[in-house]
């Protein structure tokens, strides 16, 4: 996965909608967000431990102190550097979301939303990006400067993702198998839609030369049935701990 999609995938990542709604596939009426809700569990923190023991801790803040509403801030702390980077989301302009990074030399990114509250474009450097969704608010295509993501959705889960670059030697294709016993986690980034309803059981990444690498997932649950620990082995080797509101 390209770094720009990491939070998206982890939270649905990842990706990724809820707020006080008890069941899947409902329309949120809060804050006039008219997107489809698939993820019932609101993330508070994720702690990702790499194979070398280093960690990245993400803390999510929403529109109220109880974790309701849209994502307003994400703080990411690296144990390697000891530094924290902060990403904020401003919804004060109708039809827009402004994403700001601190500290960073990168300018803020402004997303333009459609009538359903989903981003259809942004003004990131290099020419901006565009986003396309199916009728259920799943993001089926994202086109960025230099590459695009094309996604196939089956039974409310991503089953295939093709990353197509301006340099064809970098192209990849990833197939996913969902874990139907799990429900995805909500990071409040409603404006980017969703890509999955469940956590994954496995993924296979095939590069431009036909070489395939498999990653297997073990999803452990807390007493409320939420995924609290995910262990990945194979192509990716890490452990992610989830806490919820």
- Which of 201, 198, 242 lies closest to 224 in space, CA to CA? 242
pTM of the model: 0.85
Q: What is the pLDDT of residues 116-172, one digit of tens each?
A: 999 999 999 999 999 999 999 999 999 999 999 999 999 999 999 999 999 999 999
- Number of Cβ within 10 Å of residue 225's Cβ equals 12
Burial of 206 (0-12, 13-18, 19+ CB in 10 A): middle
Q: How far apart are CA 39 and CA 26, in angstroms?
A: 10
More confident residue, 210 or 4: 210
Residues 43-97: tens digit of each pLDDT: 999 999 999 999 999 999 999 999 999 999 999 999 999 999 999 999 999 999 9
Each residue's pLDDT tens digit, 173-214:
999 999 999 999 999 999 999 989 999 999 999 999 999 999
> Is the confidence at residue 99, as pLDDT, over 70?
yes
Q: Which residues contact 210 (CB under 8 A, 6 or more apart)?
A: none
Indicate the length of the chain as a whole number: 245
Three-state DSSP state, 107: coil
- Per DSSP, 10 falls in state H
Residues 6+ positions from 122 with CB-CB distance below 8 Å: 109, 110, 111, 112, 128, 129
Domain 3-244: top CATH class: mainly beta
CA distance 124 to 120: 13
Residue 240 near residue 55, CB atoms below 8 Å: no
Long-range CB pairs of 135-143 (<8 Å, 24+ gap) are 136/25, 136/36, 137/17, 137/35, 137/36, 137/193, 137/194, 138/193, 138/194, 138/195, 139/15, 139/192, 139/193, 139/194, 139/195, 142/5
User: Which two three-digit tokens encode residue 134?
Assistant: 């199916």
Q: How far is CA 175 from CA 154, 207, 212, in A?
A: 12, 12, 10
């Amino acid at each position: 996965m390209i770094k720009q999609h990491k939070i998206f995938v982890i939270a649905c990542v990842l990706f990724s909608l809820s707020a006080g709604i008890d069941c899947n596939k409902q329309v949120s009426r809060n804050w006039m967000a008219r997107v489809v809700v698939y993820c019932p569990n609101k993330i508070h923190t994720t702690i990702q431990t790499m194979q070398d023991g280093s960690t990245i801790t993400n803390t999510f803040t929403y529109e109220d102190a109880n974790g309701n509403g849209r994502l307003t801030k994400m703080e990411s702390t690296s144990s390697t550097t000891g530094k924290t980077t902060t990403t904020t989301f401003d919804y004060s302009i109708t039809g827009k979301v402004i994403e700001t990074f601190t500290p960073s030399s990168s300018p803020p990114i402004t997303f333009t939303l459609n009538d359903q509250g989903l981003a259809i474009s942004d003004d990131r450097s290099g020419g901006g990006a565009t986003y396309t969704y199916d009728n259920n608010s799943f993001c089926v295509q994202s086109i960025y400067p230099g590459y695009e993501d094309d996604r196939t959705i089956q039974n409310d889960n991503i089953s295939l993702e093709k990353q197509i670059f301006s340099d064809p030697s970098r192209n990849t294709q990833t197939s996913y198998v969902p874990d139907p016993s799990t429900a995805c986690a909500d990071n409040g980034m409603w404006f980017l839609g969703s890509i999955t309803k469940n956590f994954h059981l496995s993924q296979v990444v095939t590069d431009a030369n036909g070489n395939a690498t498999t990653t297997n997932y073990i999803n452990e649950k807390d007493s409320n049935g939420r995924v609290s620990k995910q262990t990945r082995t194979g192509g990716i080797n890490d452990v992610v701990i989830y806490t919820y509101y």
